[in-house]
Amino acid sequence: MKILLCLPALLFLVSIVSAAPANQQQRLPANLPAIVQEAIDRNNKDCEADEKPVYQRGFLTIRDINGDGKPDYILDYDHFLCGERGGMFCGTGGCQTEIFASEEEKGYVQVWDKLARKVTFLTLNKRPAMRIDIHGTLCGRNGSERCTLTLYWNGSTFHPAN
């Protein structure tokens, strides 16, 4: 008897869980810079013919990362699916992350195209910077050990030198 009473509640919960991915999809703007759209299109090709690329909320972030007042673009492939398949662009070093910054002469430049566990944008010594958590082996450590790289904006790219 108790099972029959719980069945409607269970079915309701299953319907919410199965509907969650559709509610978390992100619509991409139509007017992305060409270099950003090309990167997305290139990775969309990794989906099988019967799989549609799905962009979850958090896939595309638009914000000024280099202090010039113009929008910059961050693609986080932790939030990218081919159909229902996720994690294609992720590994022990994090997920593929592509970052594009506005640059006065070139329009937009790609300043990061590697795996990252976490990317944080901040200002250090009055300069735009990004702090990236990466695989420990890139710092000469065990892969599971913490490794953080700090890069500073030099006017045309992010560079390790302060």
Digit-coded pLDDT (tens) for 49-105: 999 999 999 999 999 999 999 999 999 999 999 999 999 999 989 999 999 999 988
6: confidence class by pLDDT, cuts 50, 70, 90? very low
The one-letter code for the residue type at 153 is: W
Highest mean pLDDT pick, 5-9, 73-77, 102-106, 152-156: 73-77
The one-letter code for the residue type at 44 is: N
> Per the structure block, which two tokens stand in for 111?
């300043």
Average pLDDT in the 134-158 region? Answer: 89
Q: First vs last Cα of the chain: how many Å apart?
A: 69
**What would the pLDDT profile of 91-142 be if each residue is shown by its tens digit?**
989 999 999 999 988 899 999 999 999 999 999 999 999 999 999 888 888 8
Q: What is the pLDDT of residue 143?
A: 79
**What would the pLDDT profile of 30-51 be if each residue is shown by its tens digit?**
999 999 999 999 999 999 999 9
Counting Cβ atoms within 10 Å, is residue 95 exposed (0-12), middle (13-18) or buried (19+)? buried
